[in-house]
Structure 1
Amino acid sequence: MHENNNNCIPRSVEWKETSISLLNQQKLPHETEYLELKTIEDVWDAITTLKVRGAPAIGIAAAFGLALSAADISADSLDSFHRQLNSQKDYLAGSRPTAVNLAWALDRLVKAAQKAISVNEAKTLLIHEAIRIQVEDEETCRLIGENALSLFKAGDKVMTICNAGSIATAKYGTALAPFYLAKQKDISLEVYACETRPVLQGARLTAWELLQAGVDVTLITDNMAAHTMKSKGITSIIVGADRITANGDTANKIGTYNLAILAKAFDIPFYVAAPLSTFDPSLDSGKSIPIEERNPEEVTHLHGVRIAPEGVNVFNPAFDVTPSELITGIVTERGILTGDYLSKIRNLFKEEAQYVES
């Protein structure tokens, strides 16, 4: 059992002035490898190949990547600099289409750089803004964890899927944040983690990081979820999100929708935990969310070994969309949304805009 302290909470991305230190999530749990990313191409590859994953962590990595690459831009005017910066932003934004944090972070950096009166100042502002995004995300995740923890009591058995933990964010995570805080406060919670086929983020990542912090975690395969809910007395489900639309529809890792339907069948609460940066009020509903489809080999192969017949057709969506009517509550850093998500989300963003302006 690991000691219960903040050092047991792993970090996925760190700024190193002339490079980015990145925990290679593809190597977990067998090897803890930190990559040194030095170019924008390194960052694009890390995002595309899931060396870094989790919507907030992707946004942080992309922000650092843009700041890193912009430092090498050679421009004799601000107009030239901004043209090259926007080209780099578009390149990184194309690495993954579903997680809204990616575009949000990149747009935020470009907006920050527009305040500069010189190229050198623009480069400095980009670095400062990227670091600010990471610092803010850590505090955001702590607040999400505190709000989510209010939903649980000692002895609860909570199920989750994929990895919405510390290595998917700056620290603490979203859906996993209450489990870290519960451990720190000596509140006993049991976590049941779905393995999350086909890339096994639950088995490789969630189980790994919760063990690091001494959290009581039990791993199950995805098709054991219903039986586990019934036989183990699961009290609630909490998941992360990659994009939440104006009406509360939520895109998250494939298999999340299954759990939401099961939660309704078993009459247990189903919670989504996500920061405001994961909301996309520009989309009316989940029907408009682009769903990334990934390499068929993720399904036909396991650790490089073929497990399916040659020539079989494969459908490999990385995400699904859970309709808002199946969601009991959406936990954010500003509180827990319930009921009429359309009006609640609209009001939340009005308040946020007023807060930013003030």
Structure 2
Amino acid sequence: MVELPYLLKKESICHRKDGLLYIGDRRVFPFEKRFEPCSTVEQVAAALKAMVTQGGGPLQVAFTTLRFISEKMRLGRLPYSYEELRRSVALLIGARPTNTTMRRAMLALLEELAPLFADGAGPDEFALKVDELVDEQELYYDETYHQMGRIGSTLIEDGDVILTTCFAEHTFLLSLAYAREEGKALSVLVNETRPYLQGSRLTYPCLQEMGIQAHLITDGMGAHYLAEGKITKYMTASDLVCMDGSVVNKVGTLSNAVACNYYKVPYYAFSISPDPTKLSSSEIVMEERSAEEVLHCLSLPTTLEGKALYPSFDIIEPSLVHGIVTPKGVLAPSSLARSFS
């Protein structure tokens, strides 16, 4: 049976207990399994901004926070009003503006919940409706993760050596698990992914837990192994995919995609929800992160005091992308708009 590793289980991403919301702190994983406690929506938003969780984590945090909000409204600890709900949702969305999957999911839920206030429903009825809608959304995403894992596994051939960047989470890891279940031998080269080391701290331990052969490499080594012919595929997640097939992902993705294009190795990006509101990369709101983060690694300084640069995300143009793995199948960048607009 295919199972998710500890880091991707819902309770490990976030959970509620004794009136608080706890977010699994990926900044200290795998050395610690620690949770960041939050007593307000403002604290949840601050935790998202501080990268306590990232990638697909904010979506699950947003779902759990909606339950958290409804519980506080039911108990009279938050004003029971549509304005308060809208304000809270705006805080979550604003914490991670490049994560448009979370934004669109939360706005859709907000739209479904709005009539309750107009119809005079009380906080108890509101809380029940929130639980019903969030249950539906969580089930949809759980099923879609596995569906995309099965689709992704069809791209993997026996003996593949797959390069990845950052932490591609559910869909990529499930693709590997389903491919292995089919009897395919495979291994993964994991970029460490500076400055947060998502590759070495998140992806690599998950692969070890799943029993998948993996080797950790530094961010500049991908082209070396491509030149030696040792990499057969490049697979990553995507923070955002536009309708023209442009992919947004962690900085460092672009350099590997360029090298893959040169050495004729296909690059596949996983996208659970390409954004129909973004026609091209010119419409993206890119998150700003502090360049100070480049001057440190695991909280230790890497050099003397000075200046650094840190573009958090790369935009990978469609010509560098062989295919985009979606719930509707593996699509060429040029066919995305027809399938999702």
Q: 1:53 to 1:75 in 2, by over 3 A?
A: same
Range 300-309 or range 29-38, more displaced: 29-38
Segments of structure 2 that go 5 or more residues without pairing to the other structure are none
Q: Does 1:286 align with 2:281?
A: yes
Range 209-218 or range 63-72, more displaced: 63-72
Q: Does 1:203 align with 2:200?
A: yes
Q: Does 1:126 align with 2:121?
A: no
Paired residue for 2:311, among 288, 306, 317?
317
Partner Cα separation in structure 1 for residue 329 and residue 244 of structure 2? 17
Runs (4+) off by over 6 Å: none
Counterpart of 2:338, as a letter, is N
Q: Which residue matches 2:146?
A: 142
Q: 1:29 to 1:80 in 2, by over 3 A?
A: closer
Q: 1:144 to 1:7 in 2, by over 3 A?
A: closer
Q: Which residue matches 2:69?
A: 69
Partner Cα separation in structure 2 for residue 150 and residue 182 of structure 1? 7
Partner Cα separation in structure 2 for residue 315 and residue 152 of structure 1? 36
Q: Which residue matches 1:179?
A: 176
Q: Percent identity?
A: 26
Counterpart of 2:158, as a letter, is A
Post-superposition offset of 1:84: 1.1
Post-superposition offset of 1:53: 0.8
Partner Cα separation in structure 1 for residue 179 and residue 90 of structure 2? 40
Q: Does 1:212 align with 2:209?
A: yes
Post-superposition offset of 1:254: 0.7
Count residues in correspondence.
331
Counterpart of 1:318, as a letter, is S
Paired residue for 2:328, among 315, 324, 334?
334
Secondary structure of residue in 2 paired with 1:72: helix
Q: Which residue matches 2:161?
A: 157
> Does the aligned pair in 1 maintain the 2:98–2:284 contact within 8 Å?
yes
Secondary structure of residue in 1 paired with 2:95: coil
Post-superposition offset of 1:42: 3.3
Q: 1:271 to 1:64 in 2, by over 3 A?
A: same
Cα deviation code 1:152-174 (max 9, x no counterpart): 11111110000011xxxxxxx12
> Does the aligned pair in 2 maintain the 1:175–1:274 contact within 8 Å?
no
Cα deviation code 1:16-59 (max 9, x no counterpart): 475444322111111122444443133213211211111x3211
Q: 1:194 to 1:144 in 2, by over 3 A?
A: same
Partner Cα separation in structure 2 for residue 96 and residue 285 of structure 1? 19
Secondary structure of residue in 2 paired with 1:291: coil
Cα deviation code 1:83-131 (max 9, x no counterpart): 1111111111111211112212221221221243403222322233223
Q: Does 1:274 align with 2:271?
A: yes
TM-score normalised by length of structure 1: 0.85
Partner Cα separation in structure 2 for residue 221 and residue 311 of structure 1? 23
Partner Cα separation in structure 1 for residue 329 and residue 201 of structure 2? 30
Partner Cα separation in structure 2 for residue 107 and residue 34 of structure 1? 27
> Does the aligned pair in 1 maintain the 2:192–2:217 contact within 8 Å?
yes
Q: Which residue matches 1:29?
A: 30
> Does the aligned pair in 2 maintain the 1:158–1:235 contact within 8 Å?
yes
Q: 1:5 to 1:36 in 2, by over 3 A?
A: farther
Partner Cα separation in structure 2 for residue 106 and residue 231 of structure 1? 45
Partner Cα separation in structure 2 for residue 132 and residue 254 of structure 1? 33
Q: Which residue matches 1:354?
A: none
TM-score normalised by length of structure 2: 0.89
Counterpart of 1:289, as a letter, is I
- Residue correspondence of structure 1 range 213-292 to structure 2 within 5 A: 213-231=210-228, 233-276=230-273, 279-292=274-287
Partner Cα separation in structure 2 for residue 123 and residue 272 of structure 1? 37
Counterpart of 1:299, as a letter, is V
> Does the aligned pair in 1 maintain the 2:160–2:231 contact within 8 Å?
yes
Counterpart of 1:102, as a letter, is M
